[in-house]
Chain A
């Protein structure tokens, strides 16, 4: 299981136990909260992040890494891993998430290289083109995450307002 998923569940349980339960004198509400805590403990044992968006991000990274390798052929550049990096025996979300994070670090190194003096001195136009490609690809990757991000509830979260509207999933 992903450490961040487990920590999130632990945090929700702690918030309910430490802040909601002690401040509720209504037996029905307390029953609801304890049921929610029980359900969350169940999720901790059985669930994880959805693998689909993570897989989509890794595939996009692989396409980008392959494109940069092709474009930068003949230039001295940071190491680019062989693609595709996903093998059929990788199925759990934590392993795919780790692969995605590793891909981000590779893309970061390449972006710094493409915008740096050495790459520009070697081939200015090509380096600029690779930089644009990497920026666009990392933005596309963020779009995949945005599709699984609920609408902001910043006002309600910051101020604890009760009647501030309902966030859309």
Chain B
């Protein structure tokens, strides 16, 4: 049963809030209780409140909301910190995703509440249902049974195909379209702008490659909802089924090849060229084409494989910026800078293949 999502923000009427400079867990917990009490109309107590460490961007808390009206509910709170990886944050892509995809062939956690201006908590935030299950690690080979992994990998591709079959014009995602500009070019331009911000390092190949990507971006076979971070590690599986696709913060309209190329990056598949270390590339493409009805172009896929590395480099530089310029104290962000030489070299090779 889906929870009813309640949006209490109103963009036009939102007051300029004085924001606290850092996210204080105790203050968040107090404000969360007030927020849930207000929107449910029933005094709500927060128990088992704790920060989950896995994310690099939004701060994630797991908790139980206890009220007379609704009993105990296990929920997730995600907060966009003012100096986080992709700050300033907007909840809208994630809210659109959780709202639009509820009940579709793409499993998502049920949205409970969201606030773009964070009136009570002080930062943009949303609350969704907790989904029981496991999140597989993308970075290293796991000891899971290969047949189990194959079944999950196939579902993973089929769900992506389901996402790309959805007509974005019939969803809230249509409002993400920026004027008459091609959505997929907007996405590239966004990362280029991010890389052009003052940071510790300027990389000639990224500057030049960003120009090339924007100038030669292929026409998409169709414009779809693109997850933007569709990879092993961004879903929850339970008893051999994928029960939720997570992390919709980079969702946008664009070319479906983008998600396919990102998902197949060896970085997210324990350094393997096979999806989840088990599904051959040709099998992934064949399965995806049959499930989505979208013909995969080798040339577009090569382009988006180069773009995936460009985006990965831009994300690393966001991390460096968050640490060095915005002084966001998370050492994981600091060490991401050390990945830059290998990513930029791989990007150069991918550009050669795509040209």
Contacts and interface: CB of A to CB of B under 8 A. Distances in A.
A pairs with B: yes
Interface string B312-343: 00000000000110010111101100111110
B205 A135 contact: yes
A154 B329 CA distance: 18
Nearest to B324: A7
B204 A115 contact: no
Nearest to B212: A115
A14 interface: yes
Interface stretch (B64-72, B111-119, B195-203, B277-285): B195-203
A155 B204 contact: no
Interface stretch (A38-46, A87-95, A103-111): A103-111
Contacts of A152: 339
B119 to A, nearest CB: 28
Nearest to B323: A11
A167 B99 CA distance: 42
B345 interface: yes
Nearest to A146: B341
Contacts of A18: 329
Contacts of B139: 154-155, 158-159
B54 A149 contact: no
Interface in A1-50: 3-4, 7-8, 11-12, 14-15, 18
Given A3-B324, A7-B323, A101 B338 contact: no
A138 B204 contact: yes
B211 interface: yes
B140 interface: yes
A14 B205 CA distance: 34
A129 interface: no
A112 interface: yes
B57 to A, nearest CB: 12
Interface in B185-223: 200-205, 207-208, 211-212
B214 to A, nearest CB: 12
Interface string A128-157: 000000110011001101100110111101
A164 interface: yes
B137 interface: yes
Given A3-B324, A108-B204, A149 B329 contact: no
B55 to A, nearest CB: 9
A25 to B, nearest CB: 18
A127 B239 CA distance: 58
A3 B324 CA distance: 9
Nearest to B338: A149
Contact of B201 (A15, A101, A107, A135): A101
A160 interface: yes
B2 interface: no
B348 interface: yes
Nearest to A131: B208
B168 to A, nearest CB: 31
A157 to B, nearest CB: 5
Contacts of B48: none
A162 B51 CA distance: 19
A108 B202 contact: yes
Contacts of B76: none
Nearest to A12: B331
Contact of B348 (A3, A139, A150): A139
B53 interface: yes
B140 A15 contact: no
A143 B349 CA distance: 14
Contacts of B329: 11, 14-15, 18
A155 B137 contact: yes
Interface centre among B204, B208, B330 (most CB of A within 10 A): B204
A4 B204 contact: no
Given A149-B342, A155-B139, A155-B140, A4 B200 contact: yes
Given A3-B324, A108-B207, 14 more contacts: A14-B329, A15-B329, A101-B201, A104-B203, A107-B204, A108-B202, A112-B208, A115-B208, A135-B348, A142-B342, A146-B342, A153-B335, A155-B139, A159-B54
Q: List the 3 closest pairs (A to B, CB-CB), nearest first.
A: A108-B204, A155-B139, A145-B341
Interface of B: 53-54, 56, 137, 139-140, 200-205, 207-208, 211-212, 267, 323-324, 327, 329-332, 334-335, 338-342, 344-345, 348
